[in-house]
Amino acid sequence: MSRARERAVEGGPVGRRRELDRGVEHGLGAERPEGLDEGRGLLSGARHEYAPAARGQGFIGHVLMIPWRVIFRRALIGLSLLALVAAPACKSSAGQLQTTSAAPAEAPAATVVVDTGARKVTFHVELARTQAEHEKGLMYREHLAPDAGMLFLFERPSMQTFWMKNTLIPLDMIFISPDRTIAGVVVDAEPLTLTARSVNEPSQYVLEIGGGLAPRLGIRAGAHVEFHGVEGP
């Protein structure tokens, strides 16, 4: 086509229509709202953040794909909540440990050691201090271990008298003076009897052990006695 023909065509209806189309497109571009571009930028950023690395995934892939940063933030929130829940329990546990450690230590077991001259014999004893404990003594006991006994403690030395009322087992009674020497021994006191039993010397302590043990162990008057774990006179 010649140039004259081209100019005729451009100046004709087709050319005017092309100019009109370009004007419409230019006008639409000029009247485009500013927020639209910003919104597209945000949407583009969101798609870039949440979109998977590989192309070609469908809509489900976009929805279920959670970035590692979101997972990290959620994990931090979960750990913070666990720390808040565990804090009162730790405090309570610490308080319990402190209370347990502050508990008073148990008093050591009381023992009486008799030095017979040939050896020292140890008895693990119960203590009878009060009037009620003196009266009950070893009543109703059906058995007494060979190394066990009961030590009666009195405020001051005097002529002590014992009996075997309601006592079911035979006993040896060792009367001890204030200086911790044996004043005298009563051997094999008969059970369930009301006979008064004593020695001719004042005593402040009386040790009761199984019947017949004193002569077999060589315990006799004049032997020295030691108390361990025993407080009092």
Percent of the chain with pLDDT over 70: 55
Query: Lowest mean pLDDT: which of 75-84, 127-136, 138-147, 197-206?
Result: 75-84
Among candidate residues 118, 132, 199, 196, the one with its CA nearest the CA of residue 207: 199
- Residue ranges per structural domain of the chain: 111-228
Provide the pLDDT for residue 108: 63
What is the model's pLDDT at position 63?
44
> Could you give the CA distance from residue 86 to residue 218 in angstroms, rounded to a whole number?
66
Three state DSSP letters for 136-175: HCCCCCCCCCCCEEEEEEEEEEECCCECCCCCCCCEEEEE
Higher-pLDDT residue of 40 and 149 is 149
Confidence grade of residue 42 (pLDDT, cut at 50, 70, 90): very low
Q: What is the mean pLDDT of the chain?
A: 75
**What pLDDT does residue 26 have?**
47
189 pLDDT more than 60: yes
- For the ranges 27-36, 130-139, 155-164, 211-220, which has the lowest average pLDDT? 27-36
Q: Please, which pLDDT band fits residue 232 given cuts at 50, 70 and 90?
A: confident
Given a contact cutoff of 8 angstroms between Cβ atoms, the answer to whether 177 and 157 are in contact is yes
In this structure, the chain runs to a length of 233
At residue 70, the pLDDT reads 64
CATH number of 111-228: 2.60.120.1140
Q: Of residues 156 and 24, which shows the higher confidence score?
A: 156
Report the share of the chain in percent with pLDDT over 90.
Answer: 52
Structure tokens at 151: 């030590």
The stretch 98-122 carries a mean pLDDT of: 76
> Is residue 157 a contact partner of residue 186, using CB atoms and an 8 Å limit?
no
Q: Is the pTM of this model over 0.95?
A: no
pLDDT at 2 over 60: no
108 vs 232 pLDDT, higher one: 232
What does each C-alpha distance from 57 to 49, 54, 62, 70 come to in angstroms? 15, 7, 7, 21
Residue 77 pLDDT? 76
Question: Which of these, 123, 173, 114, 169, lies nearest to 146 by C-alpha position?
Answer: 123
User: What's the rounded mean pLDDT across residues 29-52?
Assistant: 44
Higher pLDDT, 41 or 198: 198
